[in-house]
Amino acid sequence: DIVMTQSPDSLAVSLGERATISCRSSQSVLNTSDNRNYLAWYRQKPRQPPTLLIYWASTREFGVSDRISGSGSGTDFTLIISSLQAADVAVYYCQQYHMTPWTFGQGTKVEIK
Amino acid sequence: QVQLEQSGGEVKKPGSSVKVSCKASEGTFNNYGISWVRQARGQGLEWVGSILPLFDITNYAQRFKGRVTFTADKSTTTVFMEVNSLRSDDTAIYYCATDGIMDYWGRGTLVTVSS
Does residue B26 register a pLDDT over 90?
no
**Other CB atoms within 10 Å distance of the CB of residue A2:** 18
Partner-chain residue, chosen from B59, B61, B105, that has the shortest CB–CB distance to A50: B105
Does residue B27 register a pLDDT over 90?
no
- Averaged pLDDT, B16-39: 94
Does residue B2 register a pLDDT over 90?
no
Q: What is the pLDDT of residue A63?
A: 96
Does residue B16 register a pLDDT over 90?
yes
SS (H, E, C) B4-56: EEECCCEEECCCCCEEEEEEECHHHHHHCCEEEEEECCCCCCEEEEEEECCCC
Does residue B1 register a pLDDT over 90?
no
Using a CB-CB cut-off of 8 Å, the residues of chain B touching A61 are 103
Percent of chain B at pLDDT > 90 equals: 90
Q: What is the pLDDT of residue A21?
A: 98
- Averaged pLDDT, A23-27: 98
- Averaged pLDDT, B94-101: 97
* A107 to B44: CB separation less than 8 angstroms, yes or no: yes
- Averaged pLDDT, A9-14: 98
pLDDT digits (tens, 9 = 90+) for A34-83: 999 999 999 999 999 999 999 999 999 999 999 999 999 999 999 999 99
Q: What is the pLDDT of residue A50?
A: 98
Q: What is the pLDDT of residue A67?
A: 97
Beta partners for residue A17, in sequence order: none
Interchain CB contact of A105 with B (< 8 Å): yes
Asked if residue A65 lies in contact with residue A50, where contact means CB atoms within 8 angstroms, the answer is no
Using a CB-CB cut-off of 8 Å, the residues of chain B touching A42 are 45, 102
Does residue A104 register a pLDDT over 90?
yes
